[in-house]
């Protein structure tokens, strides 16, 4: 179910009902009230007055919900949108149950539902954590790290990432960190972004010969390198599928009580 489409339809429907009342229904109610008041010398009693001027229930709901829905649509479409992390493909950067905030303005303003960019602001940079529509199923949102820019040559062999023929620098931080005893915790540098990744030395993981990123596309990888369904399997992300840049974790909830101790900036 496309929540953006439902929200747009709700705003449109409530807005049409509200405007229809302002331009047509409300003047007619006042006319009926004035005519009834003119036909009585004693004036209308409060019950009758209220009945004649009362808004129909669809108008009452539309008038109440339209401004709220409009604000939600504007904020969610053009400023910030919340998401929940459903899988461990971005560990250790993002854990299952993290609630994140995505900057919808960072890569330009896009029309809701169709996702067409109508105002250019900036383009993704190597190392950004980006939310995008999965190319094979656009109704599903994915989150990965931008590894390859348009024109880059990307290769992944022996758990080493290569960009334009150069190995991406990484440093071992810990062997068997808490919560992931079979993993190696490494710090990697992609562009200006320094972040942690997981590698499992006992898992051969995917291998990928060199590919070139087409214009208008991006190569995405998860930080949990041996457990991530990413561009190594299904290819490139077109520019029109971009949703926004993830920049903060504001809550963690794994089924128990929500926790705010994990609030942090996303590197």
Task: Sketch the domain layout of the chain as residue ranges.
Answer: 3-78, 86-265
Average pLDDT over residues 210-216: 97
Q: What is the DSSP letter of 55?
A: P
> CATH for 86-265?
2.10.109.10
pLDDT above 80 for 125: yes
Residue 36 CA to residue 30 CA, distance in Å, equals: 10
Structure confidence by residue, pLDDT tens digits, 152-175 = 999 999 999 999 999 999 999 999
Residues tagged active-site: 89, 144
82 forms bridges with which residues in the sheet?
Answer: 101
Which residues make Cβ contacts (< 8 Å) with residue 79, sequence separation at least 6? 103, 104, 105
pLDDT above 70 for 1: no
| pTM of the entire predicted model | 0.87
**CA separation, residue 205 to residues 53, 83, 251 (Å):** 70, 28, 31
Q: How many other CB atoms are there within 10 angstroms of residue 230's CB atom?
A: 22
pLDDT at position 66 is 95
- Separation of CA 50 from chain center: 45
Structure confidence by residue, pLDDT tens digits, 43-69 = 777 887 788 888 899 999 999 999 999
pLDDT above 90 for 193: no
């Amino acid at each position: 179910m496309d929540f953006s489409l439902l929200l747009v339809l709700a705003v449109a429907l409530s807005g049409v009902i509200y405007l229809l009342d302002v331009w047509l229904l409300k003047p007619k109610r006042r006319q009926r009230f004035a005519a009834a008041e003119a036909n009585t010398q004693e004036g209308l009693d409060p019950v009758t007055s209220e009945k004649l001027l009362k808004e129909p229930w669809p108008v009452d709901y539309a008038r109440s919900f339209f401004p709220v829905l409009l604000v939600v649509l504007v904020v969610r479409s053009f400023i910030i949108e919340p998401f929940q992390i459903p899988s461990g493909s971005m560990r250790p950067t993002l854990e299952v149950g993290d609630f994140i905030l995505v900057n919808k303005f960072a890569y330009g303003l896009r029309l809701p539902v169709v996702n067409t960019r109508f105002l250019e602001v900036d383009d993704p940079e190597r190392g950004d954590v980006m939310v995008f529509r999965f190319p094979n199923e656009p109704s599903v949102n994915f989150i990965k790290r931008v590894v390859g820019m348009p024109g880059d040559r990307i290769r992944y062999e022996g758990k080493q990432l290569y960009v334009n023929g150069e190995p991406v620098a990484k440093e071992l931080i810990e062997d068997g960190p808490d919560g992931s005893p079979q993993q190696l915790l490494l710090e990697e540098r992609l562009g200006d972004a320094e972040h942690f990744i997981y590698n499992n030395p006992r898992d051969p993981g995917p291998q990928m010969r060199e590919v070139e990123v087409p214009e208008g596309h991006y190569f995405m990888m998860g930080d949990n390198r041996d457990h991530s369904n990413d561009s190594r399997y299904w290819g490139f992300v077109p520019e029109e599928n971009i949703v926004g840049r993830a920049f903060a974790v504001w809550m963690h909830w794994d089924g128990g009580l929500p926790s705010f101790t994990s609030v942090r900036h996303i590197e």
